[in-house]
Structure 1
Amino acid sequence: MMHGFIPPHCFFPYLCWTDIDSMEDKENVVVIQPIGAIEQHGPHLPIAVDAAISLGVLGKALEKLPSEIPAYALPCLYYGKSNEHWGFPGTISLSATTLLSVITEVAESVYRSGFRKLILMNSHGGQPQIMEIAARDIHQKYQDFSVFPFFTWRVPHIAKELLTPQELEYGIHAGDAETSILLALLPDQVQMSQAVKEYPQGLPQDGLVSMEGKLPFAWLTKELSKTGVMGDATAATKEKGDRLLASVSDGWVQVIKDVYRFRQPTSKF
């Protein structure tokens, strides 16, 4: 099945060109581009984690979305900018330039079909900046085109209720949250017998510079982790994953509703 987690009636490639040509209120239809990565996620998770999370969360959200809100998912963009994970076999990375070009050309195709609202739904922490640059440049070129560079995990959710403070701060890759949600989405692809607990090593202990804070330094995963894990994967459970999936997808229902109602600001001066 090409649509995977996405409800078939919301899967853009299943439309005929005549369906698109005759679609009503096309300028407010919400088109969503899921974006992930193919990169190492420790010895226990498949390299498709970020793509799986984009598709799994979006699929659940579209199932819950009221039928009067028109929204369609494009095929997932599986490859991303993942060069921070070089040094671990299986990682496939595009350059920032290539990824920016792909996103831009997909967006321009969506625009030519008459749509005016596009969400870039990115689940890989190594590329939000590229989404933001793409969105700004696309909107500058097509000023009646609203583009939204969203990170999957930035919607309201209940992670603070489920994860430890240490995990919330340092569990940024293949830890409790990602492992739990994969146990909910793709349990047969998770090898919990290989799960490890490893937090980033050698981080600055004082001063303003930090790994992921307001004043970050550039880093490679192999500099911070021997296993490729940054977090406690051993704490993951399917029950937590089910709750996270429900919570994050609820947040995405609200996001899609908000984008449907969104009107691009225009200066009156």
Structure 2
Amino acid sequence: MPSESIFGDLTRDDLRELSADAIALMPLGATEQHGRQLPASTDSMIATHLAERSAQLVSEQVQVVLCPALPFGFSEHHLPFGATISLDNDTYIRALTSIGRSLSRSGFKRLIFLNGHGGNVAPGAAAADRLVTELELDLAVAVLSYWECIDDVVRAGFSMPSPGHAGSFEASLISALDADLVRPYGADTQEVLDDAARPLNVSDHLLGTTRLPNMWPASDGVTDAPAEPDPKFGSQLLDALSAAIAEYIRNFDAATR
């Protein structure tokens, strides 16, 4: 990213000049366990990469200021496994609301939260409602989860699995970003799945939002079985997602001018 587009590289005078017309783009990640194969920073790494890449793709058409990523999310359901730093639901809503209010006070009128963690979806929507409806700020707010940009054409092209949590989808994305962070998949991993747990598989059978007692502990903290990552698939998917998010930013820019 050019330094003139990165929030932390700019002075207050720079930001004052940019803020009225620019879109503030903030990646929302999480720091939480990702099974036995993937690092705790998985969601933050993916969201940050996609934000940087999509901002680059639109840099000649749309002024975007890339904000620092928020590396903590609503991850209470992962706490029993360890390797998780979570903000509770109310705290996370307040944090996003405070971020949006701060950006508004700094002159920004448009904000996109680019989300990389499923647990952030509901509190993110609540924060957006609070900023726009309750506080009535002059701020257009979007909360976009990157997997929402996976349309039917992209799915067909990649024979895509569900994004899920800590399975082959995320493993392929991380292997494309930093292969050294993906632990080898071997017989011991499969034995854990066979003998001690099963992948979480609720969404395939029940509609709506479903919460069951002990749902996550029974799954060993994954939604689908780990597998050999495919870095080529991961790289192609990152390209496709970045292009789709860039198109979303262009549309958001046109709709909020």
Fold agreement, TM-score > 0.5: yes
Find 1:61's aligned residue among 51, 54, 58. 54
Given the alignment, which residue of 16, 29, 32 partners 2:11? 16
- From 151, 158, 161, give the equivalent of 2:157: 161
Indicate the residue corresponding to 1:45 in structure 2. 38
CA distance in 2, matches of 1:191, 1:204: 27
CA contact (8 A) 1:163 1:176 kept: no
**Residue-pair matches, total:** 246
Give the Cα separation in 1 of the matches to 2:119 and 2:125: 12
In the TM superposition, 1:147-186 aligns within 5 A as 147-157=141-151, 158-163=154-159, 167-168=161-162, 172-186=164-178
Q: Is the 8 A contact 2:173 2:237 kept in 1?
A: yes
More helix by share: 2
| Secondary structure at the counterpart of residue 260 of structure 1 | helix
Range with greater deviation from structure 2 (141-150 or 40-49):
141-150
Listed as ranges, the matches of 1:131-210 within 5 Å are 131-140=124-133, 141-157=135-151, 158-163=154-159, 167-168=161-162, 172-193=164-185, 199-200=199-200, 203=202, 210=206
- For residues 19 and 45 of structure 1, do their structure 2 counterparts lie closer, same or farther at Cα, with a shift above 3 Å needed? same
| CA RMSD after TM alignment | 2.3
| Distance (whole Å) between structure 2 residues aligned to residue 255 and residue 204 of structure 1 | 27
Q: Secondary structure at the match of 1:262?
A: helix
Give the whole-Å Cα distance in 2 for the aligned partners of 1:253 and 1:108.
25
Identity of aligned residues (%): 24
Deviations 1:44-79 (A, max 9, x none): 110001100100111111222242310011111001
Alpha-carbon distance in 1 for matches of 2:147, 2:27: 13
* Structure 1 residue 102 displacement after superposition: 1.0
**CA-CA distance at 1:215 after TM superposition:** 4.9
Shift of 1:99: 0.8
Q: Secondary structure at the match of 1:233?
A: coil
Q: Is 2:244 the counterpart of 1:248?
A: no
Gaps of 5+ in 2: none
Matched residue SS, 2:35: coil
What is residue 94 of structure 1 aligned with on the other side? 87
Q: CA deviation at 1:223?
A: 3.2
Separation in 2, partners of 1:21, 1:143:
18
Task: Choose which of 220, 237, 244 in structure 1 pairs with 2:230.
Answer: 237
- Per-residue displacement from partner, 1:4-26 (whole Å, max 9, x unpaired)? xx553321111111112223xx4
Cα separation, 1, equivalents of 2:32 and 2:222: 12
Correspondence list, 1:63-78, <5 A? 63-78=56-71
* Correspondence for 1:34 among 9, 27, 37: 27
TM-score (norm 1): 0.83
